[in-house]
Structure formats: C-alpha cells, structure tokens
Structure 1
C-alpha cells in the first residue's frame, strides 16, 4: 500500500507494514448529485464511514465541477454528506492517489470558486484535513452546532495542511487564528468555528436542514446574472487564493512528508486505526498525542 504515488520513498515502509489494508469502499458513486430544481442542486458525499478523498472521489468531483460550470441553469449547489459521523475525513492515506488527479485538483477548486454558482458546505459531521480544506474552499459554510467539528490535524503528525488550508485559513480567520488552528492540530466545534470566521453560522441540528434548504431555495430564485456578478466582484475584492498559491501549500506538505520519522509515524497511525477504525478517526486529534516525538512508539 502507498500514501501517494508520487512518494515511493514514503510508500515502501508503509507497504511493508500494512499490505492488507484498504480504504472503506461503497457500491454507489462517492458523490451523488440530486437536482432539487434546475437551479438548485445537492451534491452528497456518499462513501461512508469516512468519506475519504480517494481516486474515485477525485474523479467524481472533477466530473461534478465540469457539470456545474457548464450548466446554464444551476445557481446554487449544496455539498452535504450521507455518512452519519463525517462530512469528510481527509485525503486517502493508504492507497495511491493518481498524479493526474493531484495535478488537476487545484485548477478545479479555483474554477469552482470563480464559477457563477454559489457553493454551500452543509456540515453535520466531522471535517478534517482535506475535508476541512474543501469546506473552506466553498463559498458559504453552515454547520450543525451539535454534530460538526473542524480540524487541521496535519502538524500533529509532522506534516502540513496540503489541500489549500494554509492559503485559505488566513483569509478567513486572520493570521493569529490560522496559526492557532494549524499549529494546535485540535478539533474545533461549530460555535468556535463560527466565532472565528472559519464558517458562516452554527445552527441547531434540529433546524439545520430546513435552514439550509430555505437559504438555497431563496438564492436560487434570484437572477443568475446578479448572483454571478456579485460573486465575481466579491472574489476580486477578497483575493481568493490562486491555484499556484495552493500548489505551494502542497509542495510544502510533500517536503514534510519525506522525513523518515514522519513516514514511520504515519505507518504507526495506520497500524493503530487511521482510515480503518471508527473510534480512532472520531478521536484522531487525541490519538495523535500517542505518537509525538521521533519514536519508537510503544502503543
């Protein structure tokens, strides 16, 4: 098994330890698109239990971005999850992600951000790592007070947020809070995330679906020209990160990942349950504390 096809130096020791491990799979498409109306779509992440960003997810996401950016009628897309505990956990740690997908991801993210369509993250579970970065990359973020958690956990494993988080978070929450989030590698509840500006609102779970649906229907009833022009000018004034800036995040992530003790730590985390065990994934910001230092780790 491997982490990334681009990192054979990292993959080899992981493969030796965990040759039988595989990511959770699901018979359905990893992203299910529902056209509620021609102007209002739902994109549901449907690869439980963790909604890992794996090869199938990348292919499905790119196809969805293509549909969104070429459909003349769609105005709003709500991204949600069918998994009970997770909005999206993180990139696939175990199986290799195709290089072509990694090369294409940043262009697709910025294309979606600059499209005339409003994208909404409707988070009723955990969003960490690449999942939290995807939430930050979307236009508007709503979260369940009781169920949502957000975390950039990479530094706790000796890595860096590589999915755009280091470019996105300072713009959303400011320099000091971005450093708190990234360097602390802890989970944040929805209320704190909203207070910081990481998300728009924390909403009681009992009211969540009605609120999100009502907002999406309201916006989708308005003229597309007005919506798209408003988004274009706000993007220009707020300096959304470029694909090149986000690639710089990724390259910095790769640099940290090449360290031998980081490779060993990630291998040990997989052994303990990373991407395989629900309890480990639910409590990953605490589980990582068993793996501080350069090892060996007797856990």
Structure 2
C-alpha cells in the first residue's frame, strides 16, 4: 500500500481513519527510530545514536514496514535508500517532529532553570542564601528560588514534608536516605557566650567557675559539649543544660536576657552580639566545630544551575571557610 501524497500527518499515523479503511494503531515510539534511519541511511548508526541494539532497531523497522505495507528502504551498498513512501512520510513528519522535540526540550530545560527549591534552617539560610542566590542569578538570570525552612532535627530524614522534593538541602547531619548524597560543605567554629551583664562571669569560663553555671544549648551541640569538656568530673552533668532548642535564634534571645551560658557559632555571635547584648567567654574547654552538609540526589548534579551549585559554588564556600 502506497501512501498518497495528499494524506495529512494525522491520517498517515492512523489518527484519522476513513470508516471504510481502519488502520491498526501506530506506535509513536517508532517515529524517532524511523527519522534516525532516514537521516543516517543506516540501522547501525541509528542504533548508536538512540543507544539501542541493532536488533531492536531492525525489529522496529520491520514494524514500520508492516504498518505501511512498504519496504521503506532499499539497501544500496553500505547505505539505505528510502522509497517514495518513506520520503513522503519523512517530509510529512520531520518539521512537526522537530518542532515538538524542541518544545519538549525547552520546557524541560526551563522547568529546571526557572525554579530551584532550597531547604535550610533559618540560621543556615542567613548564612548561605546571600552567596547562593547571587551565584544562582549569575548562572541563570530570573531563576526563581523557592526556599523553605527546615529545622535541624528534620534535615536527616529520608522524606521531607513538602509537595516537591528539594533540589538541595542544607543541614547539620548527613541524610540517611541511600539515594541522597551528603557532601560536607563547611565547618562552623563555636564559642561560649553569655549576657554582657552576666552577674558572675566577666571574660572567662573555667572548669571551676563553670560548676556554678547552667547552659542553654542548641540541640545539635548538647552531646558535642558533653563529650569535649576538659575534665568530665568538674562540670556536673545535671547542671550542663537547663534548656535545649533547635533554634539558634531562640537561644540568642534567652542568653541575652538571662544568666545562662550558650554555645553558638562564631559567625552568629559576630552578627548579633550587639543586638542581643552578648559577650564571648575565653575558655580552655575545647568544642568541635559544627559540620554543615549539602544534601542532594545523585541526579541533581546533571541538571543545569543545580549542577553548577554542587560543582562550583560549594567549592568556593569551602575555599573561603
């Protein structure tokens, strides 16, 4: 059966069928295979481009020949020569198929580039978003950043309580999800702080004067503090903490208006010590720094902008640490 020159694309594909001549349904998956064979005049080259086996491409060509009741291609030496039916079919679909392909690619690319979803706690948002947003808008002008706050306690969960999975999450713990990568981004040095008007402490925290004090601690730091005291028997464990919070900003407010001592990142103290009337305390007690992780899926690095964040911006942050 020869395809009439006046057949429209829809009738060629069997989408519009005369009542007297109903065709079997056309498999649209065969279209890209036909186009590659036609353009490259070779089953082997089509298979290479489509990442398929030659036998799969040959099977698809057989289905096309069966559908059109036409050989479609004749072998001439090392190349295939299209029949008139194949040439007419290609002329009917090539422009439309190319347009559809470009639109699909454009939509997919725009979707990736036009919006990036970031999850981070309020503290890490303040710490990282100014630099990160500047980098994103440099890479993709007009890109929308959708930021959602997450508490540190939720950073390592396997799922997030949102409708859409974030592109990147920043947290103080590695993800337990095996499908997520947890890349160390930077370390946050810590310091002891108290109110400027603390009734007992002036400039120093020692094992001796620390015996009489209580602490308010960031939830992620409680164990760190306990494990890094200079002398485990000098500060009674029951007096270590009178409050734990997953909000560093809540701790700032409490420390500044009480006689409690806190352990906070140095960066946070330098930003807000004047606002909350805080001072640092010199001490010999050693505290390990907080580790900040950047968490993302294994496919994220392959996407525009997000891949640049992972490969370029993260490296700059580590360099400036």
Larger helix percent: 1
Would the TM-score normalized by the shorter structure come out above 0.5? no
Give the structure-2-normalised TM-score.
0.21
